[in-house]
């Protein structure tokens, strides 16, 4: 009897310790990723620092980089998790030089935008919608494209409906939070511990999502939302991405409606695809945006 009681107490202690450890990690990963960014770069003539009110409760900070070229259209750039608008600065410069107006901004709880928790697409989707409204107010009647990286791509899909844009580029976007958590745990725990602990830790993380983030796991499933997207889609993912394996990116693609395009980025992991291979990136992305946003070709 004493042995059974001891084992029960040990199991309870281990379970409590596991939950406590996951809670600490979850709080850390969802904590705001703040950064001081400042004004637009001095070479960005005409760029404006802007504030955008969002349904997430945040007042988003960003840069609006208008272009006066007729029919140029605009592109909204949405950065990845724990990054900020600076991640998208190189894209902004290339796009502006090609005649697009550009909005790049910090998602809630990132950069200079206030927010209590990173929610992996749920509240950030309200920020993405606010960014689209801002651009349409600034350029009424103009076409709007979107480039969303990882979290930014999830934010483009996870609102009440996918963003009402004229074209959307999705880079390295997770299909659902179960896969996202499992892949990250497996990759970070390594070849020995990963297969052993991932099946145990993933459901614990999911169980703690509502109390930590106020978001249920079934609200973080871009794969369920992508089929209702009305915009043409370009989906890109690295062939060596351990966080969003190629088969999962292709599953996301398979659920999307036409017109759509898939780009497997040879050799790339879960990295900035523009920085990884800028020449090839723009060979793929620019014709897509030119066709649907500038209506060329």
Q: Which CATH code is given to the segment(s) 33-176+220-292? A: 3.40.50.1820
Would you mind telling me the total number of residues written for the chain in this entry?
297
Residue 174: what pLDDT?
A: 97
Integer Cα distance of 227 and 164 in angstroms:
13
Inter-axis angle of helices 177-213 and 2-29, nearest 10: 90
Which residue's entry shows tokens 């909005």? Answer: 103
Global pTM value? 0.92
pLDDT along the chain (297 residues), means of 10: 46 46 59 96 94 98 90 93 97 96 98 97 98 96 96 97 97 96 90 83 87 93 97 98 97 98 98 98 98 81
Q: How many CA atoms lie within 13 A of 163 on its CB side?
A: 38
Quickly count helices (H) and strands (E) in the chain: 9, 10
Q: Name the 3-class secondary structure at 233.
A: strand
Would you state the pLDDT for residue 14?
44
SS3 34: strand
Q: Where are the beta strands (DSSP E) in 79-149?
A: 101-105, 110-111, 144-149
Query: What is the rounded distance in angstroms from the CA atom of residue 146 to the CA atom of residue 148?
Result: 6
How distant, in Å, are the alpha carbons of 4, 140, 142, 196, 282 from that of 71?
Answer: 75, 12, 7, 55, 20
- Pairing relation of β-strands 74-78 and 101-105? parallel
Tokens linked to 285: 């992305």
What is the token pair recorded at 46? 């005409």
CA distances from 96 to 28, 46, 82, 166, 294 (A): 36, 11, 25, 18, 13
> What angle is formed at CA 72 by the lines to CA 152 and CA 161, rounded to 5 degrees?
35
What local confidence, expressed as pLDDT, does residue 16 receive?
44
Range list of β-strands (E), the chain = 33-34, 48-53, 59-65, 74-78, 101-105, 110-111, 144-149, 167-171, 233-238, 260-265
282-287 long-range contacts, Cβ below 8 Å, gap at least 24?
Answer: 282/94, 284/234, 284/236, 285/147, 285/169, 285/234, 286/94, 286/98
Nearest alpha carbon to residue 201 among 222, 187, 221, 211: 187
In the chain, where the domains are located:
2-30+179-211, 33-176+220-292
């Amino acid at each position: 009897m004493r042995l059974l009681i001891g084992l029960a107490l040990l199991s309870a202690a281990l379970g409590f310790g596991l939950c406590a450890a996951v809670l600490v990690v979850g709080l850390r990963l969802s904590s705001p990723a703040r950064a001081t960014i400042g004004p637009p770069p001095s070479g960005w003539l005409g760029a404006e620092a802007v504030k955008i009110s969002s349904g997430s409760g945040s007042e988003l900070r960003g840069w609006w980089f208008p272009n006066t070229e007729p029919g140029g259209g605009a592109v909204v750039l949405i950065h990845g998790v724990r990054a900020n608008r600076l991640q998208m600065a190189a894209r902004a410069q290339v796009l502006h030089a090609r005649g697009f107006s550009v909005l790049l901004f910090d998602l809630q709880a990132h950069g200079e935008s206030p927010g209590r928790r990173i929610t992996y697409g749920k509240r950030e989707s309200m920020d993405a919608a606010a960014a689209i409204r801002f651009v349409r107010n600034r350029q009424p009647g103009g076409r709007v494209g979107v480039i969303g990286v990882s979290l930014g791509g999830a934010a483009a899909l996870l609102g009440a409906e996918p963003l009402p844009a004229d074209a959307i580029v999705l880079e390295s976007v997770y299909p659902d939070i179960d896969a996202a958590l499992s892949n990250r745990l497996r990759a970070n725990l390594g070849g020995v511990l990963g297969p052993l602990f991932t099946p145990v830790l993933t459901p614990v993380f999911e169980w703690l999502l509502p109390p930590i983030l106020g978001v249920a796991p079934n609200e973080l499933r871009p794969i369920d939302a992508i089929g209702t997207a009305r915009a043409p889609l370009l989906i890109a993912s690295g062939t060596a991405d351990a966080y969003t394996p190629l088969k999962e990116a292709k599953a996301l693609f398979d659920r999307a409606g036409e017109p759509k395009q898939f780009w497997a980025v040879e050799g790339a992991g879960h990295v900035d695809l523009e920085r990884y291979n800028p020449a090839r990136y723009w060979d793929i992305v620019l014709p897509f945006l030119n066709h649907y946003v500038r209506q060329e070709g």
